Chain A
Amino acid sequence: AQKITQTQPGMFVQEKEAVTLDCTYDTSDPSYGLFWYKQPSSGEMIFLIYQGSYDQQNATEGRYSLNFQKARKSANLVISASQLGDSAMYFCAMREPTGANNLFFGTGTRLTVIP
């Protein structure tokens, strides 16, 4: 079974509007971490935001927030006030258990911001 599922191959958003990128995960381990990375055309994976399974509050980092719904096993990324530079591939990833060495990545969502 896929550990990370991203069902949106591509998304479009108007500049200055908000957009939600979906991510669901599958794990039986109570201790895990969820990540979102941005990958521009240069190839580098840029860390955006992290949510631990025991964190009580949803994570926020500037214009990025993570809508963590533990019972539904979803960890959607919300980008507010979209900018042209936000156009990129976005990957959801999970580390289980929290101290593990490797990340499992989804297949990504390509976000295009329209001027």
Chain B
Amino acid sequence: DAGVTQSPTHLIKTRGQQVTLRCSPKSGHDTVSWYQQALGQGPQFIFQYYEEEERQRGNFPDRFSGHQFPNYSSELNVNALLLGDSALYLCASSSGTGRNTGELFFGEGSRLTVL
């Protein structure tokens, strides 16, 4: 049973470029959340997708956008990259809209470096 898988694992971009990160949820899960974890910090919630719609959004600018596909996989897009966007981007999957306890499963993340 595959867990949450993310790609790419590492990538380097330059300021102003755009990036797309991908996530496949754990088998049986239909909800995907994205988190940004800056170096030395805890993860911060970006947004959550359920039934192909953004259900909730954290305090992130519109440069951060996402998509969920019919197979429940998801993409995170970041436009006009800034140096401050350098971080580990974590995808978490769950079933439903996250009402049950402890069912968030995280991937190993995509580490983005912006030069």
In the complex, are the beta carbons of B108 and A43 less than 8 A apart?
Answer: yes
Across the interface, do B33 and A101 meet the contact criterion of CB distance under 8 Å? yes
A12 interface contact, C-beta 8 A: no
Residues of chain A within 8 A (CB-CB) of B97 are 99, 101
Against B, the Cβ 8 Å flags (1 = close, 0 = not) of A29-46 are 000010101000011111
A25 within 8 A of B: no
Residues of B within 8 A of A47 (CB): 102, 104-105
Task: Indicate if A18 sits at the interface (CB-CB under 8 A).
Answer: no
A1 is an interface residue with CB less than 8 A from chain B: no
B70 → chain A closest CB, angstroms:
21
- 87-115 of chain A: CB within 8 A of chain B: 91, 93, 95, 98-108
Nearest residue, chain B, Cβ from A104: B45
Please tell me the size bucket of the interface on A. 20 to 34
* B48 interface contact, C-beta 8 A: yes
Interface residues of B in 86-115 (CB under 8 A from A): 88, 90, 92, 97-99, 101-102, 104-109, 111
Q: Which residues of B contact A106 (CB under 8 A)?
A: 42
- Are A102 and B45 in contact, with the CB atoms below 8 A? yes
A93 — which chain B residues lie within 8 A by C-beta?
42
Cβ contact within 8 Å between A101 and B55: yes
- Asked if A44 contacts B106 (CB within 8 A), the reply is yes
In the complex, A68 has a CB within 8 A of chain B: no
Tell me the minimal C-beta distance from B32 to chain A in angstroms.
11
B56 beta carbon closer than 8 Å to chain A: yes
**CB pair A107 B102 closer than 8 Å:** no
Say whether, besides A99-B97, A101-B55, A101-B97, A35 and B102 are in contact (CB < 8 Å). yes
User: Using a CB–CB distance below 8 Å, which chain A residues touch chain B?
Assistant: 4, 33, 35, 37, 42-47, 49-50, 52, 91, 93, 95, 98-108
